[in-house]
C-alpha cells in the first residue's frame, strides 16, 4: 500500500461533512468559512508512544483520546468544535491499527460534528498530533485570566480515576477487576466537557481543563489572574472507587496526576444562581471546592483545617 492509498482509504473518506468546508482533504490546504461575528479558537496536542501511551495501546482508544484532549481545550475556552487536522507518524502502514484508530476518532468526531480537513502521514515512531478549531462569539472566550477574589472555584465531574487507572497499568497500585473496569474509561476514553464549556460563557470568569492535575492547572488560573485560592480537600470530587483507595494513594492522584479532562472554573457570586440552574442538566455534575482570594498562592486544607502539601506537582515532560 502506498502512502497515498493509505491516506485515501482511511482519511479522505472521513464520514463527517460540514457545510462550512469549501475544500476538505485533497488539495494543498483546506479552505474553510468561519461564521461572521465569531472568533476562532485554535489548539493542538500530541500523543507520543512511550510518553503519553504505552506500546500496544488500543488504537480505537488512541483515536478517541487524541481528539478528546483537543476538544477538552476548546471546551475550556467555551468554543464550539468545528474542524480538525491530523498528523500521524507510524512505524508501518498497519491496516488493522488504522481501522481501529479511525473508528475511535470518527465516533467522537461525529458526536461533535467535527470534520477532518487535512493532515499528513509519515513513517516514524508512533505519534498522533491533532490540531482542532472551534468558534466562540467575539469577546466571549473563557480565559484563564478572569478569576477575581470572592469567585467560587468549581470542577466538573470527578478527579483522580484516570490517575488510578494509570497507576494500575504501570503496576504501581493494584485494583480489582471491577474497580479497574469502573475507572479505566476515564483514562482511555475521556469525555471532553464541550457542552458544559459552551454553557459557561458569560457565567464563569475563568476556565481551564484539568490535563496536568488540579494543582498545576488551577495554578495557571491563579497566575494568569494574579490571585490566590483556598480549596478544601474534602470537597474534591472523587468516585467511590477512588474513595476506597484513599488510605493507600491519598489525595495526590486526584490533585496532581492529571488526565482527568474535567473543567476547573471560577464563578462570581452574582452568577451563582445561573450556574446552579445549569448544572443539574449536566450528567457530570459540578462541585464547589473553594474560593479565589486576593493573596497569591494556592492553599489546600484538610477536614481538620490543617494545610495539605501535595508531593507531586503535575505532569512535566522535561523535568530533571
Q: Which residues bind a copy of itself (CB under 8 A)?
A: 1-4, 6, 22-23, 26-34, 36, 39-46, 48-52, 73-74, 76-77, 79, 83, 85, 87, 89, 92-93, 117-125, 127, 129, 131, 133-134, 136, 138, 141, 143-145, 207-209, 224, 316-320
C-alpha triplet 37, 39, 45: angle, nearest 5°: 155
CA distances from 235 to 37, 193, 231, 239, 301 (A): 39, 20, 8, 12, 10
User: To the nearest whole angstrom, how small is the minimum distance from the Cβ of residue 93 to a copy of itself?
Assistant: 4
C-alpha triplet 266, 271, 276: angle, nearest 5°: 90
Q: Among residues 1 and 244, whose Cβ is nearest to a copy of itself? A: 1
User: To the nearest whole angstrom, how small is the minimum distance from the Cβ of residue 166 to a copy of itself?
Assistant: 16
User: To the nearest whole angstrom, how small is the minimum distance from the Cβ of residue 311 to a copy of itself?
Assistant: 16
Which of 196, 265, 253, 270 shows the shortest CA–CA distance to 224? 265
Q: Among residues 44 and 111, whose Cβ is nearest to a copy of itself? A: 44
Q: Among residues 172 and 317, whose Cβ is nearest to a copy of itself? A: 317
Contact 222, 147 (CB under 8 A): yes
C-alpha–C-alpha distance, residues 309 and 266, integer Å: 22
Q: Among residues 129 and 183, whose Cβ is nearest to a copy of itself? A: 129
User: To the nearest whole angstrom, how small is the minimum distance from the Cβ of residue 162 to a copy of itself?
Assistant: 18
Q: Which three cell numbers stand for residue 245?
A: 483507595
C-alpha–C-alpha distance, residues 123 and 61, integer Å: 21
User: To the nearest whole angstrom, how small is the minimum distance from the Cβ of residue 132 to a copy of itself?
Assistant: 8
Residue 312, H or E segment: none
User: To the nearest whole angstrom, how small is the minimum distance from the Cβ of residue 175 to a copy of itself?
Assistant: 27
CB atoms within 10 A of CB 177: 7
C-alpha–C-alpha distance, residues 54 and 69, integer Å: 17
User: To the nearest whole angstrom, how small is the minimum distance from the Cβ of residue 307 to a copy of itself?
Assistant: 24
Q: Among residues 131 and 161, whose Cβ is nearest to a copy of itself? A: 131
Residue 118: strand pairing partners = 85
CA distances from 237 to 191, 260, 285 (A): 16, 12, 10
Q: Among residues 18 and 235, whose Cβ is nearest to a copy of itself? A: 18
Q: Among residues 41 and 175, whose Cβ is nearest to a copy of itself? A: 41
Place of cell 454553557: 199
Amino acid at each position: 500500500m502506498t502512502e497515498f492509498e493509505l491516506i485515501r482509504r482511511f482519511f479522505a473518506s472521513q464520514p463527517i461533512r460540514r457545510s462550512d468546508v469549501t475544500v476538505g482533504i485533497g488539495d494543498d490546504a483546506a479552505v474553510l468559512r468561519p461564521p461572521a461575528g465569531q472568533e476562532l479558537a485554535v489548539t493542538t496536542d500530541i500523543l507520543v508512544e512511550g510518553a503519553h501511551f504505552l506500546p500496544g495501546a488500543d488504537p480505537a482508544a488512541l483515536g478517541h483520546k487524541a481528539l478528546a484532549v483537543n476538544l477538552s481545550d476548546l471546551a475550556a475556552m467555551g468554543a464550539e468544535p468545528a474542524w480538525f487536522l491530523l498528523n500521524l507518524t507510524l512505524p508501518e502502514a498497519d491496516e488493522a491499527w488504522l481501522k481501529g484508530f479511525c473508528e475511535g476518532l470518527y465516533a467522537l468526531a461525529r458526536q461533535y460534528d467535527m470534520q477532518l480537513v487535512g493532515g499528513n502521514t509519515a513513517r516514524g515512531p508512533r505519534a498522533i498530533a491533532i490540531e482542532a478549531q472551534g468558534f466562540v462569539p467575539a469577546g466571549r472566550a473563557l480565559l484563564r485570566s478572569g478569576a477575581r477574589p470572592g469567585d467560587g472555584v468549581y470542577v466538573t465531574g470527578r478527579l483522580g480515576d484516570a490517575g488510578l487507572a494509570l497507576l494500575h497499568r504501570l503496576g504501581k497500585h493494584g485494583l480489582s477487576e471491577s474497580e479497574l473496569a469502573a475507572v479505566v474509561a476515564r483514562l482511555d476514553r475521556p469525555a471532553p466537557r464541550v457542552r458544559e464549556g459552551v454553557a459557561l460563557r458569560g457565567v464563569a470568569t475563568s476556565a481551564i481543563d484539568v490535563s496536568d492535575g488540579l494543582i498545576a492547572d488551577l495554578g495557571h488560573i491563579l497566575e494568569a489572574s494574579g490571585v490566590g485560592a483556598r480549596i478544601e480537600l474534602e470537597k474534591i470530587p472523587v468516585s467511590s472507587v477512588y474513595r476506597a483507595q484513599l488510605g493507600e494513594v491519598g489525595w495526590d492522584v486526584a490533585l496532581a496526576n492529571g488526565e482527568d479532562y474535567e473543567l476547573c472554573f471560577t464563578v462570581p457570586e452574582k452568577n451563582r444562581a445561573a450556574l446552579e440552574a445549569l448544572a443539574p442538566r449536566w450528567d457530570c455534575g459540578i462541585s464547589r471546592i473553594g474560593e479565589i482570594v486576593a493573596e497569591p498562592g494556592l492553599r489546600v486544607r484538610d477536614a481538620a483545617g490543617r494545610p495539605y502539601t501535595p508531593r507531586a506537582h503535575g505532569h512535566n515532560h522535561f523535568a530533571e
